[in-house]
Amino acid sequence: MASHAQASSLLSHEAAQGCCQLLSQLWFSGGLAASKTAVLLAAIPALKKLLQPIAAGAIVDTAGDINETNNAFCLSAPLLNAYNELSQLGEWQLALLGLNPKVRAHWLNVAAARCREAGAMSDLQVLVKLIQQLGNASAWVLAQLESADAHPQLIAGPLSQLERDLLGHSLNDNAAIPALCRLLRACFTLHTLSEQTQALTPIQPIDNTAKQLSSNWCRGRLLVLPESLLSEFNLKQPIKSPFKPSTDWLLVSQPVNAEATYIQHFAQQPWWFLLSLLSFVQDAWAAEQRGGLLLSLPAGQNAFAPSQVNVAVQGIDGDEVNLGSLAEFLVQLLSEQHIALYPALTDSAEDMQRLNRALNPLIAELLSKKIWQFLEAGRGEPGQYRIHPEFSDACYSLPLAPLFGYKSQYLQQAIRQLAQTSYANKKNVSSANRINR
């Protein structure tokens, strides 16, 4: 086990505090300039494989060589998901600090002491529960206990003041046991990932002109939650630290004036573009008369403020298979394209419903701008959202034709493939259930 002197010499309280301030900036903006990130990477080298680099220029230069100069680093899906496994920002900051092995040495010492303490109790369920809380990180703790010079003690470590600043108590306190287990578990997951993977491939900065759409909607990009949902996140944060995502590196919805063109809207409003493209794919599929994609609204709801839009696929024979809500479909689509939502949502029903509600204003705008239209159905039947005929015509004419043609073809294919694959899978499950009855 590393001594306290070794740990403190590697990362002093002041240095660790500075790293935590940078990690806070990273969390609330989604990315950091390379000059700031250099400090983090020097203290926590494992982060090099967990941050998404943003290229300073062309990724491949004229000689065909890869350009490894980066002007920024952004959060990646694993770092976003790690936050959702923890209870607060302070735990996330400490979990990332713990990727430095000498920083986490003291925390493993405390966890080992807790396990030894629990093992000496008459009720072995205390130890069982502690091991369950540690999850895979229990392997680290076991190695700590089995080491020849293991003398685990419940004492304050070199970063105890920082722990109190971030969590309200030191990690050797009794009250800190759940937090200690959570952050070690998250740290183990991230450490394992960093050991098993290569550094992420750099991606280009955001092009707000929509001329380079494919470089915007690419693997590793972060798509910021719709404004209303981001505002909800901000209300839960300290006043001094609101989410303020970088428009240079993330897909962020930005204000546009009333006279803005379609191109300007799609360049500044990524959710507009995604929903517009969805209806375009729906229209093109319907034109083939071989089934299609349905966006339906249950009877009795307001088309301009739906509580939930349902997504279904209609087969060639007219049968329909429900794929869930619009939010669920979009989250799955983005996940398959390795585009992460920022801040990350869980896959819980509650979070999906929150996203469905956050899509309401966007749907209302698409209807008012005649990009979408709503078609009423018979009594008791769900109405349908479709592309507006005027917008459909515009998609095949300049200046939109390239944008809804070759520049977004890969996204169009992804939408259709997800719908078809989900349809086939659900049909197979339904058939298997009927056979087993």
pLDDT for 21: 97
- Coil, helix or strand at residue 56: coil
Question: pLDDT tens-digit profile of 279-308?
Answer: 999 999 999 988 899 999 988 899 999 999
CA–CA gap between residue 344 and residue 82 (Å, rounded): 10
Radius of gyration, CA atoms only, the chain:
25
Please state the rounded mean pLDDT for residues 376-399: 93
State the maximum Cα–Cα separation within the chain, in Å, rounded to a whole number. Answer: 77
Question: pLDDT tens-digit profile of 91-150?
Answer: 999 999 999 999 999 999 999 999 999 998 989 899 999 999 999 999 999 999 988 677
pLDDT for 216: 95
Burial 238-263 (b: 16+ CB within 10 A, else e): eeeeebebbeebbbbbeeeeeeeebe
- Report the share of the chain in percent with pLDDT over 70: 93
- Coil, helix or strand at residue 374: strand
Distance of CA 77 to the CA centre of its chain: 5
Contact between 123 and 129 (Cβ < 8 Å)? no
| Cβ burial, residue 15 (10 Å; 0-12/13-18/19+) | middle
Question: pLDDT tens-digit profile of 222-243?
Answer: 999 999 999 999 988 877 789 9
Contact between 297 and 374 (Cβ < 8 Å)? yes
Q: How many CB atoms lie within 10 A of CB 47?
A: 23
Contact between 415 and 283 (Cβ < 8 Å)? no
Measure the CA angle with vertex 187, ends 179 and 173; round to 5°: 25
Q: Report the chain's mean pLDDT, rounded to a whole number.
A: 91
Residue 323 has pLDDT above 60, yes or no: yes
Count, in order, helices (H) and strands (E) of the chain.
20, 10
Peptide bond into 343 cis (omega under 30): yes
CA distance readout (Å), 241 to 34, 245, 249: 21, 12, 19
Q: How confident is the model at residue 67 (pLDDT cuts 50, 70, 90)?
A: very low
Q: How confident is the model at residue 152 (pLDDT cuts 50, 70, 90)?
A: confident
pLDDT for 377: 86
